[in-house]
Amino acid sequence: MKSRRSTIPNKLYFLHLQNVPIFEQLQIEEALLRADTRNFCIVNSGSPRAIVMGISGKPDELLHVERVRQAQIPVIKRYSGGGTVIVDEETLFISFLFAKETIDVAPFPEPLLRWSGELYAKSWNIPEFHLRENDYVIGQKKCGGNAQYIRKDRWLHHTSFLWDYRESNMEYLQLPPKRPQYRLDRAHSDFLCRLKDFAPSPQTLIGQLKTELVKRLYIQEITPQELSFPPHRQASCLLSI
């Protein structure tokens, strides 16, 4: 029998992962999307280096394939759309998974981006932090990129934030053929910024986010050991390049 609290409509389970590879995180997200009905916020940092592409991404168009191959960097195709990112131990991942009726936001890309942008801006109070096109930016520079998956009864919105990054990592990515208008033809080093220049620590940002979420939803912590999934379709995969 389910407890009364398990049926609270605005209940949000908070799953805080640490040092979990991004491929494993994506597998958890996809399982929760397809085989669970609860609402989740998933936070993760400390993932080993990897390249993550959207479901329709083509390595030859988006990567310097030979460099990636020589460096033996795993390439992952995730279940959602969006662009290509290289992530590592300094990337902060935050994902939201909601049943459509939980919060008052239309389940379409632009309203979801506005909702999440407002949430982060209110939580972190970083001057000049705002949503621009599909990115989170500080001033004119990107600090986080997004992707979404929207289905009949649920939606998922996930973000990779740059707490810090190594400029050498950007040498594995080509300038994408489709890019935000505000980027123009700026190289990665002229287009990106680091959250560490605006906040004391990733833990501070996570704590501030939780403080804001508690004002809006009933929050319950959950551990990976408490999760279990029935069989489900899996679209995320490792690529051989």
Asked whether residue 129 is domain-assigned, the answer is: yes
- Rounded to the nearest angstrom, the gap between the alpha carbon of residue 240 and the centroid of all alpha carbons in its chain is 23
Residues whose CB falls within 8 Å of the CB of residue 236, separated by 6 or more in sequence, listed in order: 23, 26, 27, 30, 76, 77, 78, 79
What CATH number is associated with residue 103?
A: 3.30.930.10
Q: Read off the DSSP letter of residue 91.
A: E
Mean pLDDT across 143-164: 96
With contact defined as beta carbons under 8 Å apart, do 151 and 126 qualify?
A: no
What's the number of domains the chain is made of?
1
**Domain limits for position 90:** 5-225
What does the mean pLDDT of the chain come to? 92
Mean pLDDT across 7-28: 91
Distances, alpha carbon 100 to alpha carbons 37, 107, 112, 176, 181, in Å: 10, 7, 11, 32, 30
Instruction: Count CB-CB contacts under 10 A for residue 81.
Output: 15
Asked whether residue 31 is domain-assigned, the answer is: yes
Residue 6 binned pLDDT confidence (cut-offs 50, 70, 90):
very low
| Strand ranges of the sheet holding 50-53, from the earlier edge strand across to the other edge | 85-87, 50-53, 75-77, 237-239
Q: What is the pLDDT of residue 9?
A: 64
Q: What is the CA radius of gyration of the chain?
A: 17
Asked whether residue 47 is domain-assigned, the answer is: yes
Asked whether residue 233 is domain-assigned, the answer is: no
Asked whether residue 232 is domain-assigned, the answer is: no
